[in-house]
Each structure stands twice: as structure tokens, then as C-alpha cells.
A and B are shown apart, each in its own frame.
Chain A
């Protein structure tokens, strides 16, 4: 087993207490940085570590922080993005539930790196349990002097608030998240240049919760150590992979960045469910493309997936077996995206329901050959959407058209779904075998 960083002492459903976290070296990184390092030094270490944003884009974290100019106005903000509404993704929930203090220490360090005054943990309503875990941990950090005025006598003031969302997919998009926090209807706004004019018009850094959680560990053990954890040369560290679907042990697993997909499925997730064989997977949540057996051994990192035209995204690996209908799966995803569309731009608002209706008719046996170029066109039109979310929504449709044309054809020629799966509950309940 390779070295664990974020989930080292984690037990599902349990929370590492403040005392346990401290005993294992927690908040030492913060103390050391406040005592000995300048913000510039901290940013440089994070750049050297190869830490890349874990929310989906994979942008180098240290470089993002460097985007705030020295003479930028105050106050400055850190947004810890725990919206996590990408289907299949549950790593941030797992991380906050099991190890809230490493997230908090990461947010404070990010705050120090860009001389920010306030951190906001943005969290979705489905994670109310975790919002409370986070609030409790924030309170503990405040009581012990790690948050608030003059932290550890350093002169650095910083505090964290937990911000509850009302629940909508678009809130995960950085600029939409800012408008959401400002109490307005959230939609993306490309006129925001976050590092200059973000939250309340002030310099703002938006980082994913997992990204921030790595920061204290990098400080404690060094950039070279973090880089060495990875199986890639550019992207440092380990990665939280959330595995779900037709595997024996679905769950959140920490493994080196670049761990082969086959190893994640077989060693971590216990292999396929009895009676199931691997047909495809989504490697990075709902906004990535179906990946076939051809890439079963692909290293799971941003660059490797990009090289084959796919995305690591959030690292949410959803596994499909031979009986799962991928037209039905794509329909499920597009129905989700169509419902969650913020409605701001036309391609997304009108195009996604159009795709959904075509897929619905194909799945229901009313598909025609002429639908295929219509699907292709509309998928391509998503490039005209205002934000990246509609382009992400198009990814599974695009992959279905390219990698599984026979499956679409079979639906059309047989006038219905040819897959054996009914997905309904078998007699005797769920869980003992392949659920088809």
C-alpha cells in the first residue's frame, strides 16, 4: 500500500478529533509557516510541489495563488469549494467528515499565502452533516488560537465561515459561487477576474476542498516528498478517487496521482461485482467521457486523460458492466444536466433538453437514424455555451457517439433497449450479486 496523506487515519463515518489531529502533527505546518516563512516562500513551495487543483480543472495551485498581486486591495478571500455536485463525486464529503482540521489548516495556510482575511467553506445542503462537522472544527480551531485575531501571536488575522448553499449544480462554478455567496441568483460571470475582482469585488482565490487539504502536509514534509508520492512527473501527490458503480467495494480511496485505472478498480474497489464484466467507465464524474476497456490500464492523472481526449475531472470513477445500457446512462446524465442548467445561456438551456429528448426517444424505441447527426450537431453546439458546464455535459454524449455507435444502432434497429439490465430490484434485495 502506498503512503496515505489525507486519509491516513480516516475511518468511514468517523471524525478525527482536534486532539487526534494535533497528536499526529496537525497545525504544526501553520505554526511553522507563521513563524518562519513569508507568503512568497509558501507559494513557491506549493508551486514546486506540483499540487494541481482537484476540483476538475487541474490548474497548478501555487500559480493560481500567485495571481493575486502584492499590491492588490484588502480584504482578500479564500473560497473552499465544497459544492461537490458533480455526479459520482463524494470525496470532499468523505474528507470533511473524516478529517475537517486538515481542510481548515489548508484554508488558513492558503489565506496566509495570499494575505487573505477570510475563508469561506461553501457547502451543499446534501452535506448538512458535514457542514456541522466543519462548524464544530472551526469552533475548536478558534478556541485554540489557530483562527481569529493574531493567530499564534504572528499578527496574522484570519477566520473561516461555513456558507450553506441552497443546492444547485452551477454553484460549483467559481464565478457562480461568488454570486451565490453574495445572495444573488447564481450564474457564471466571465467578467469576474477572480484574483482582482471576486467576492464583493475583492481579490479571491477559489480552491477545491481536497486541494487545500494537501497544503499543510506539503509544508510539513516538503515539495520533493509530495512530488515523489505521484506516479507522474508534473502533477504531485496522491489523489482521492471515488469509485462507484458495479464494483465490490465502492468508496473513496487515496492512491498516488497517476495510479492505473485497473489498480483502482481491482486493488482498491475489490474488482467487479460477481457476474459483472467491465464495459466502460466515466473516469472523472459526469462531465467526462465513457472510457472503454482499451484504456483499462491508463494512468489516472490530468495529463494522461487529456492525452486521450478525456478528463480526470473530480476523479470520480463510475464503473459500468456489460449489461448496463450506456444510452440509458447518458440519458440519465443529460436529464441531470438539463434540470440543473442555470438557464442563463441558450445552448445549455435549450440544447440540453433537446439532447435529452433525442436520447429518451432512442432509449424508448422511437429512435431513428436521422437522430445521430442531430445528436452530433447539438453536442458540438455546446461549445458555444457561456460556461464550461455545458461542454462538460456534452462529453458523455460525444463519447457515446464515438465509442459505442453499435449500442445506439441496436436501440434504433431493434426499436428499444437491447440491454439485459432492468435495474429493478431483484427478489431478495440488493447487494449480494450483480444487480441486473
Chain B
């Protein structure tokens, strides 16, 4: 399903519900998917769709970890800095990713492929250290595994299946 299809689907759902705001996060995610991040235009369109003021949506858009109000790369790497991952070398994971991608935390690679962000415990503590890329969890991470994940993403263009569980 394309993001345009998703937006049309949400439009229909909104028309058929008494509680359109229940769909606010879904709408924000759909515009984020369409534009790569939640742009000002996307926010305005989302607000229009939901029948609220853009500021009402801004209030929640800026609150959540997985809604990006600034440009991000095609792949957003969320490195888990939860306690268990910390015990198993999360600082090394972060350092290694910064080194391989030649960016600092919070930055995007020049080719626009990768953004690196720290993230609250992602709930994959049994596979620490772990990270999440576009919704897919990876772990336990080693330098070799990180290299292979990054290479796959560069060539395949989408996160590998079968990593999560």
C-alpha cells in the first residue's frame, strides 16, 4: 500500500467515525511516510484531514519519539540505550555506527540514507545490544553484524525480514 493509498483510506475512516482524533497518530505517520519526515506541509494537510488546527497536532507531533519533524534519512537507526543494551556495549554500538557512517548522533549521512538516533529501551533486551531500523529489530549486534546490516540496506534498499521476533 502506498502512502497516498493509506491517506485516502484514513480519509474514509475519518468520515465514518465520531472520534477522528483517534486516528491522529496514524495520519501523522502516513504523511511522514509520504514525505520522508513530517514536513510543515504534511502537518497542515494532516490537520485539515482531521479537522483540527495544525498547532493541536504540533503538540503531539513534537512529543513522540517516532514522529520526525526534521528531515531524516531513508533509514532511521534507533540504537537502544536501555539498561540491558548499555550493559552489553550500547556505547560501542553507537560509536561504531558513528564511525562507519561518519556522522554524529542525530545526524544524517550525506547520501541521505541513514540517520542515527538514540532510543529508549526497544523491548528486545533478550538480544542486547539491539537497534531498530524502520521498524525492524536487530540484535545481538557485533561490528561484523552491523557492517552486514548496513551493506544490505545500501544494496537491497529495505530492511531485511526475519530479524525480528
Residue positions of A touching B, CB distance < 8 A: 12-14, 84-90, 93, 97, 124-129, 163-169, 180-186, 200, 242-246, 250-252, 282, 286, 316, 318, 320, 324, 328-329, 332-333, 335-336, 339-340, 423-425, 429-431, 435
Name the residue on A nearest B132 (C-beta): A126
Q: Enumerate chain B residues within 8 angstroms of A180, measured Cβ to Cβ.
A: 25
Q: Enumerate chain B residues within 8 angstroms of A252, measured Cβ to Cβ.
A: 126
Which 5 pairs between the two chains have the least Cβ-Cβ distance? A166-B64, A183-B21, A13-B165, A183-B24, A244-B125
Verify B86–A423 contact, CB threshold 8 A.
Answer: yes
Q: Enumerate chain A residues within 8 angstroms of B42, measured Cβ to Cβ.
A: none
Contact with A183, one of B22, B129, B140 (Cβ below 8 angstroms)? B22
Report the tally of A-B residue pairs with Cβ distances under 8 A.
169
Known: A183-B52, A425-B142. 5 other contacts (CB 8 A): A84-B123, A182-B19, A245-B87, A282-B83, A423-B92
Known: A90-B125, A329-B87, A332-B83. A166 touches B67 (CB 8 A): yes
Verify A166–B66 contact, CB threshold 8 A.
Answer: yes
Verify B120–A85 contact, CB threshold 8 A.
Answer: yes
A335 to B164, CA, bound (A): 27
**Interface CB pairs A-B, < 8 A, 27:** A14-B165, A85-B121, A125-B65, A125-B135, A126-B122, A126-B123, A126-B137, A129-B135, A129-B164, A165-B25, A166-B29, A167-B64, A180-B25, A182-B19, A183-B20, A185-B60, A200-B19, A250-B84, A250-B126, A250-B127, A329-B86, A336-B83, A423-B92, A425-B143, A430-B129, A431-B140, A435-B88
A42 to B136, CA, bound (A): 39
Contact with B29, one of A127, A164, A251 (Cβ below 8 angstroms)? A164
Task: Please tell me if B107 contacts chain A, counting CB pairs below 8 Å.
Answer: no
A316 to B132, CA, bound (A): 20
**Chain B stretch 101-132: residues in CB contact (< 8 A) with chain A:** 119-129, 132
Verify A129–B123 contact, CB threshold 8 A.
Answer: no
A164 to B83, CA, bound (A): 24
A121 to B96, CA, bound (A): 37
Name the residue on A nearest B162 (C-beta): A13
Q: Enumerate chain A residues within 8 angstroms of B92, measured Cβ to Cβ.
A: 423-425
Q: Enumerate chain A residues within 8 angstroms of B28, measured Cβ to Cβ.
A: 166
Verify A324–B87 contact, CB threshold 8 A.
Answer: yes
Q: Enumerate chain B residues within 8 angstroms of A282, measured Cβ to Cβ.
A: 83
Known: A183-B23, A250-B125. A168 touches B65 (CB 8 A): yes
A182 to B84, CA, bound (A): 33
Q: Enumerate chain B residues within 8 angstroms of A244, measured Cβ to Cβ.
A: 84, 125-126, 128
Q: How large is the interface on B (under 10, 10 to 19, 20 to 34, 35 or more residues)?
A: 35 or more
Q: Enumerate chain A residues within 8 angstroms of B45, measured Cβ to Cβ.
A: none
A422 to B29, CA, bound (A): 39
Q: Enumerate chain B residues within 8 angstroms of A97, measured Cβ to Cβ.
A: 165
Known: A87-B83, A88-B83. A184 touches B124 (CB 8 A): no
Task: Please tell me if B43 contacts chain A, counting CB pairs below 8 Å.
Answer: no
A69 to B163, CA, bound (A): 46
Verify B137–A423 contact, CB threshold 8 A.
Answer: no
Contact with B59, one of A165, A185, A333 (Cβ below 8 angstroms)? A185
A282 to chain B, nearest CB (A): 8
A286 to B141, CA, bound (A): 22
B91 to chain A, nearest CB (A): 6
A86 to chain B, nearest CB (A): 8
* Residue with the greatest number of chain A CB neighbours at <10 A, chosen from B20, B65, B132, B142: B65
Verify B89–A435 contact, CB threshold 8 A.
Answer: yes
Q: Enumerate chain B residues within 8 angstroms of A165, measured Cβ to Cβ.
A: 25, 64
Contact with B82, one of A13, A88, A166, A251 (Cβ below 8 angstroms)? A88
**Chain B stretch 2-51: residues in CB contact (< 8 A) with chain A:** 19-26, 28-29, 50
Contact with B86, one of A86, A242, A332 (Cβ below 8 angstroms)? A332
Verify A336–B120 contact, CB threshold 8 A.
Answer: yes
Q: Enumerate chain B residues within 8 angstroms of A435, measured Cβ to Cβ.
A: 87-89
Q: Enumerate chain B residues within 8 angstroms of A430, measured Cβ to Cβ.
A: 88-89, 129, 140-142
